[in-house]
Amino acid sequence: MNRVNPATGEELEPIEEHTAEEVDEAVTRSAEAYAEWSGRPMEERQKLLSGAADVLRENVDEYAEIMTREMGKPIAGARSEVEKCAWACDHYAERAGEYLADERIGTEPHAEAFVSYEPLGPVLAIMPWNFPFWQVFRFAAPTLTAGNTGLLKHASNVPECALAIEDVFREAGYPEGVFQSLLVGSDLVNDVIEDDRVAAVTLTGSERAGRAVGKAAGEQLKPSVLELGGSDPFVVLDDADVEVAAAVGARTRTLNSGQSCIAAKRFIVVDEVYEAFLEAFVREMEALTVGDPMDEDADVGPQAREDLMEDLHEQVQATLSEGATLQTGGEPLDREGFFYPPTVVTDVPRDATMSCEEVFGPAAAVYGVGGEAEAIDLANDSHYGLGGSVWTEDLHRGKRVAREIESGCVFVNELTKSDPRLPFGGVKDSGYGRELSEKGIRAFVNAKTVWVQSAADQDV
């Protein structure tokens, strides 16, 4: 697998891909490990997960540097990502037993009925490069602790991250085969999905990849969870604290150098506060430092690959040609690496490129609307439905508007984020199923109904 440091454009040492034979051997190990792993007491699995959290924290700098080197994440954000993975491990190490405890159901006086949550088998995870540790751990922490085994097909530009994650579980004491990385291209994914030994599949990625994986899993009648793209609305109502909204808006649009599915991408501002918000927002975007991601002071690093930077620039230029106005940014920076500046465009038509497509980089589209009803209408005028954010001083109003936005989650006076305690996922073309919280650990289990009664109570 060929890799390039996105901050310098220099090639990194290639990592050898696994062969089809090696993949088959890995699936065999996963199936064999499942037979033993699924029978272990929950308490043992929770203890091992707590150990994985310890390994993550002990090696936070090493793992953060791998991320930054492979995909350009600013180093402070990379360390925070490792810490968040440890938090997810802590959460399920504490709560998994509670989440998967038998659920008693009242039926007949002479019978006992309950739901038993039991693992399925090896689960294939197809994961992206933008949060190369977090995306994996929000799958692995609950799925492994539920008693499944995991096979990771990571993005081709972050193989070192994939191997490091495998090492985390190994160092924590997990048995061989419980978690393995498959260093393969997309051409082998369908073969793994179709393998009878693989029980389920989860993907975080593009809409196109989601459709392909969902189709392949569906044809095999295997459960799947898809977390796909987003074009999240950031709604600023007329009673919002404009300065705070602008500061948080700039942060959420440029988090991870703008390469986040749940980043705010469409800023929908009621006319009464439009000028004030736009002035503050542009000021906040221009104040951000674009620089070497290994530099602690860098707010925005490079785009992860050159082609991704080029795609982003094409989207911005297409939107401008469709009638939008450039407020700041808009051109790749003249330096080594794949750097694109924080960019703001206004007067964006509803059918323009940045209105209709997911923009995966630090470029924001700002819209002025006549009032609350128009803001909600524009927020929902998207085939995506991952997250959203609403800004208002009236919390009752905020809750009401949040209920009307068509997405998997909405945050009032806060940026949209994933949290181990909260279910996460989308609607419409942003996918289906939920990760994290109790719902996430139940994504890949058999909710088995059990009825128990004495034969003496049988009506014959």
Active site residue 261: yes
Of 160, 207, 227, 284, which is the active-site residue?
A: 227
Active site residue 89: no
Distance CA 245, CA 213 (A): 37
Q: How many CA atoms lie within 13 A of 49 on its CB side?
A: 30
The residues that bridge with 234 in the sheet, in sequence order, are 267, 389
> Which tokens go with 230?
């987003």
Of 92, 100, 14, 78, whose CA–CA distance to 46 is shortest?
A: 92
Q: Give yes or no for a contact between 184 and 178, defined as CB atoms under 8 angstroms apart.
A: no
Strand bridging mode 200-204 / 389-391: unpaired
Q: What angle do CA 216, 217, 220 make, to 5 degrees?
A: 95
Q: How far is CA 163 from CA 135, 159, 166, 373, 392, in A?
A: 15, 6, 5, 49, 44
Residue-by-residue DSSP string for 181-221: E----GGGHHHHHH-TT--EEEEES-HHHHHHHHHHHHHTT
Question: Which residue, chain included where needed, has tokens 């959420």?
Answer: 252
Q: Which residues contact 242 (CB under 8 A, 6 or more apart)?
A: 236, 273, 276, 277, 280
Q: How many CA atoms lie within 13 A of 400 on its CB side?
A: 9
Distance CA 189, CA 244 (A): 44
Of 261, 284, 358, 372, which is the active-site residue?
A: 261
Q: 3-class SS at 258? A: helix
The residues that bridge with 224 in the sheet, in sequence order, are 201
The residues that bridge with 445 in the sheet, in sequence order, are 119
* Distance, C-alpha 285 to centroid of its chain: 24
Active site residues: 227, 261
